[in-house]
Amino acid sequence: MELHINDKSGITPYLPASNRYDQESFRRCGNSGILLPNISLGLWHNFGFIDDLHKGRMIIRRAFDRGITHFDLANNYGPPFGSAEENFGTILRHDFKGYRDELFISSKAGFDMWPGPYGNLGSRKYLIASLDQSLKRMGLDYVDLFYHHRPDPDTPLEETMGALDQIVRQGKALYIGISNYPADEAQKAFDILNKLGTPCLIHQARYSMFDRWVEDGLLETLRSNGTGLIAFSPLAQGMLTSKYIDGIPADSRAGKSMTYLEKDEVGKMVPVIRALNEIAKNRGQELSQMAIAWLLRDPVVTSVLIGASSVGQLDQNLESLKNTSFTSDELDEIDKILKGA
């Protein structure tokens, strides 16, 4: 089921802002020709069939007007599975026909997508079939970047990486990456891909002030291999915002006990959130803005992947880029607060 845009909806035809490349700056991704905006837009939430297509359309338009060229998807984003890619494809056809070569579009596969033994994990059959489906949903001949979404403990790594290499050689993706791989598995993947002649140029990993697992070896592995990092969940599912400074609102994600965020977990972090918020206020920033800026302090972080449920939220997060420098005292104080968490 594809949702359609009614051209008589009263929404004016889209003409991108002429100064869009004055709005953002770009970072080189490892040792590659990839240049990504400091902030990229992820379509994990808010862009499926259950969501308002026109609102999503306005968010994507605004993102491009502000210099965001990188849009990140996956086969099962929605809900339902696949619907974010279908909606994105609809928006591309209506608003971005003449701008495909300015966009950097990524998708990925590795989690549950369809029934049976070939609808999950990392087999060659699953990855190639999944990308073929994604291209059809989005109406694209190729994606700029295709990731394996997570390690598969049962499929030989040589098969999974061989599939990524094959995808590039078939012209279905320009670059390939991995996501959620620990340092040792990432290094094995890099070694295999280098031998095949299709290097892994980017790793997508969960990273925030509250989730620093990548600092335990992965960042150094990426640095030594000339591979960039794109950080997702930079706001720790909303904990690194002003939402929880005064406790847990009943209508919040934690208040509703929604997936990925438990009420008890958030409750324990409220004192830390308040302490970090004081530093952000002294910097003239919202806590969310400081959390994004903090991730960009390390050059190996090529881009921070944000979500957005409204144009206003997108704009607020982009204001992070007005102050991305930290004094040593600020960094020390942040570390002290986080270590006491």
What is the mean pLDDT, run by run of 10 residues, along the chain of 341 residues? 55 93 94 97 97 97 98 98 98 97 98 97 98 98 98 98 98 98 98 98 98 98 98 96 82 63 84 96 98 97 97 97 97 95 71
pLDDT at 263: 82
- The token pair at 314 is 């997108």
- The amino acid occupying position 253 is R
pLDDT at 1: 45
User: Which residue in 306, 254, 246 sits closest to 273, CA to CA?
Assistant: 246
| Sequence-separated (6 or more) residues with CB below 8 Å from residue 272 | 337, 338, 340, 341
pLDDT at 11: 73
Is the Cβ–Cβ distance between 317 and 290 less than 8 Å?
no
pLDDT at 265: 83
- Taking the model in full, what pTM does it have? 0.94
pLDDT at 4: 59
Domains and CATH numbers, the chain: 20-236+295-323 (3.20.20.100)
Is the Cβ–Cβ distance between 9 and 93 less than 8 Å?
no
pLDDT at 2: 47
